[in-house]
Amino acid sequence: MPNAYISGTGSYVPPRVVTNEDLRTEFGIDTSHEWIHKRTGIEERHFAADGVGTAELAEHATRAALESAGLEAHELDAIVLATLSPDYHFPGSGVLLQHRLGLSEGDNVKFVPALDVRNQCSGFLYSLSVANGWVRSGMYKQVLVVGAETHSHALDLTTRGRTVSSLFGDGAGAVVVSATEEDRGIRGIYLGSNGKFADALCQKIWDISRFPYVPLDEDGGGLVAPDMLWAHMEGRTVFRNAVQAMTGALMEACKACETTIADIDMFAFHQANMRINEYVAKMLELPAEKVPHNIHKYGNTTAATIPLLLDETRREGRLKDGMKVGLAAFGSGFTWGSAIIDW
């Protein structure tokens, strides 16, 4: 049975930088840099331009990951794309990415399967588990895993929505999961969920239980109330459960891999809130040099945070071959996950 390892990484953020102060001066939100930074550790984030969607961000990150892996797009066998902000309600953004990579027409046609994963902040780890299973089973040899988000186009950028809108940014991260006979790669992935708290972090605009699911005006136009249109979050509930779940998930992954927290050289945590990650690190007694972060620059890019961080630390030389890496994420659902990788 082959092992599955990450042969390449890539990331991309749109060029527009929006600082905490910009939220106040450009968007008129009653907030301040101090208020946001104290609670989250975020200083700025990136917003995509009008007309730029998730598949486009994913393409940029993918091409960087392919270059890192020394592959061409037509050498891929499958695509798994994690996002909570797909370009359309349907179809998924995975097929849009496949087309953008030139796999559906031209000289390098290859109708590879494309799967979307909708597990929000833990979406990358859920997607990685799919790729790991495909590769280890021998079904595919080269699987692209992407986390990509265009949050800014669906944020309530007013004072009413400041507790949520100040958290999120746009971006994409990608990895190529490849088959190898070497003794390296993804050692174990632990996943979990608790639907009891599904309403604690949600955006209900597509509530299909309603008939019609979007109310209509007399001209047939959609009418969406603010409580349905914008994301809702119970911050304290999310914080408490995130710390518990991420800590527990890492310990479970270590147990399954017969390793210890102390054996891990670097931890790549989901970048949702600096205070959550600091608390997890404290609970596990992790030295600061083992826990890199970039939330101050990008905010929460949901499914993109972990692959974006992996690519950044690899390019900086902090993530090196032979290191043991621990991943952990928590998000809406509630869902969570962890992984141990011998890089």
pLDDT score at 335? 97
Does the domain at 186-199+230-342 match CATH 3.40.47.10? Answer given as yes
The string of pLDDT tens digits covering residues 55-103 is 999 999 999 999 999 999 999 999 999 999 999 999 999 999 999 999 9
The string of pLDDT tens digits covering residues 92-104 is 999 999 999 999 9
3-state secondary structure the chain: CCEEEEEEEEEECCCEEEEHHHHHHCCCCCCCHHHHHHHHCCCEEEECCCCCCHHHHHHHHHHHHHHHHCCCHHHCCEEEEECCCCCCCCCCHHHHHHHHCCCCCCCCCCCCCEEEECCHHHHHHHHHHHHHHHHHHCCCCEEEEEEEECCHHHCCCCHHHHHHHCCECCEEEEEEEEEECCCCEEEEEEEEECHHHHHHEECCCCCCCCCCCCCECCCCCECCCHHHHCCEECHHHHHHHHHHHHHHHHHHHHHHCCCCHHHCCEEEECCCCHHHHHHHHHHHCCCHHHCCCCHHHHCECHHHHHHHHHHHHHHHCCCCCCCEEEEEEEECCCEEEEEEEEC
The string of pLDDT tens digits covering residues 8-41 is 999 999 999 999 999 999 999 999 999 999 999 9
Q: Look over the chain and give the mean of its residue pLDDT values, rounded to a whole number.
A: 96
pLDDT score at 1? 87
Domain 3-183, CATH: 3.40.47.10
pLDDT score at 206? 84
Domain with CATH 3.40.47.10 in the chain: 3-183, 186-199+230-342
> Active-site residues: which are they?
121, 270, 300
Asked if residue 107 has pLDDT above 90, the reply is no
